[in-house]
């Protein structure tokens, strides 16, 4: 028996996902990096007692990577199912992380799985596979409110129900830090205060701001004995920017708060 992944429910997202699963509706998790999307899916897969298959999508991810390919084995050519086909056949939850990054043929390949047909066409085999009762598609997407992130076409988006993820309110985020790392409550509160202070400094024009993940990392370093300020510098400040003046300003600010 694997351990239950720790996930702090923020609103009613667990109910929504469960109902989406029951009704065979794909689910899109929207939100910035490090906001708990992957952890949420791990938790839900565990809750529903289903296997989770994750694909981290990037610009080279093609439908072949997902569906499968022929490989040469000795004197034979054998077909190997890709992760999508495996999930469709076995009834697993397939989580496509950062789905907008994948090549367009990936989105085409999943279309027939996201509507009433629930089937996958494997052109290289000339075979159409009907999805297992329990197959569910989940995907994550980082909304394109800043440059550099790809958009998702409305025709794709509208095949999913969508849940928004953000950074939890301070009380909950503090609790997450404590539960996740064993951090001292006072340290956790201070880290969350630093996170929120930096999140509010919109004038810095950071591409992405302090995520829960960065705060968790800082809490882990402190908990394992690294000095507090150094931990915040390396886990929170440095990952955010490379601009020397911004780094300096953020370090000064953080030093005052921890
Ligand atoms: P994303 O998939 O959105 O990039 P993750 O799910 O990897 O983010 O979350 C990053 C980290 O933040 C997790 O490893 C976990 O430590 C923490 N985290 C964020 N939100 C939660 C939450 N609601 N419950 C528990 N841990 C959380």
Compute, in angstroms, the gap from residue 258 CA to the centroid of ligand 1.
23
User: Do β-strands 76-81 and 68-73 pair in parallel, antiparallel, or remain unpaired?
Assistant: antiparallel
User: Any idea what DSSP says for residue 235?
Assistant: I
Calculate what percentage of the chain has a pLDDT beyond 70. Answer: 97
- pLDDT for 1 beyond 60: no
What is the structure's pLDDT at 146?
Answer: 53
- Which position has the higher pLDDT, 3 or 55? 55
* DSSP per-residue string spanning 136-196: EEEEEE---SSTTPPP--HHHHTTSEEEE--PPPHHHHHHHHHHHH---HHHHHHHHHHHH
Distances in whole angstroms, Cα of residue 20 to Cα of each of 26, 31, 138, 164: 7, 19, 10, 15
How confident is the model over 198-206, as a mean pLDDT? Answer: 88
pTM listed for this prediction: 0.92
What is the structure's pLDDT at 205?
Answer: 81
Compute, in angstroms, the gap from residue 144 CA to the centroid of ligand 1.
20
pLDDT digit string (tens) for 29-87? 999 989 999 999 999 999 999 999 999 999 999 999 999 999 999 999 999 999 999 99
Structure tokens of 123?
């052109």
Q: Three-state secondary structure along 128-144? A: EEECCCCCEEEEEECCC
Q: Which of 212, 221, 235 to mutate to test the pocket of ligand 1 (most atoms within 8 A of CB)?
A: 212
What is the structure's pLDDT at 148?
Answer: 55
Q: Of ligand 1's atoms, which has the minimum distance to the CA of residue 97?
A: 2
Question: What is the three-class DSSP state of 72?
Answer: strand
Compute, in angstroms, the gap from residue 35 CA to the centroid of ligand 1.
5
Lining ligand 1 with CB less than 6 A are 6-8, 10, 31, 33-39, 176, 180, 212-213, 216
């Amino acid at each position: 028996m694997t351990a239950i992944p720790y996930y702090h429910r923020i609103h009613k997202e667990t109910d929504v996902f469960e109902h989406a699963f029951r009704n065979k509706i794909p689910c899109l998790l929207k939100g910035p990096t490090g906001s708990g999307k992957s952890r949420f899916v791990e938790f839900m897969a565990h809750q529903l007692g289903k296997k989770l298959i994750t694909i981290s999508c990037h610009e080279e991810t093609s439908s072949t990577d997902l569906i499968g390919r022929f490989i040469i084995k000795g004197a034979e050519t054998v077909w190997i199912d890709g992760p999508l086909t495996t999930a469709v056949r076995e009834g697993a939850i397939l989580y496509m992380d950062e789905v907008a990054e994948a090549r367009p043929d990936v989105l085409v390949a999943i279309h027939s799985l996201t509507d009433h047909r629930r089937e996958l066409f494997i052109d290289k085999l000339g075979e159409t596979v009907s999805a297992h009762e329990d197959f569910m598609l989940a995907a994550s997407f980082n909304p394109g409110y800043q440059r550099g992130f790809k958009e998702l076409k409305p025709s794709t988006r509208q095949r999913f129900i969508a849940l928004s993820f953000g950074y939890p309110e301070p009380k909950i985020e503090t609790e997450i830090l404590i539960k996740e790392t064993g951090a001292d409550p006072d340290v956790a509160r201070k880290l969350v205060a630093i996170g929120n202070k930096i999140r509010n400094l919109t004038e810095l024009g950071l591409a992405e701001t302090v995520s829960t993940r960065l705060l968790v990392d800082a809490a882990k370093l402190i908990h394992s004995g690294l000095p507090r300020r150094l931990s915040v510098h390396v886990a929170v400040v440095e990952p955010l920017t490379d601009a020397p003046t911004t780094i300096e300003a953020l370090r000064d600010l953080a030093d005052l708060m921890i």
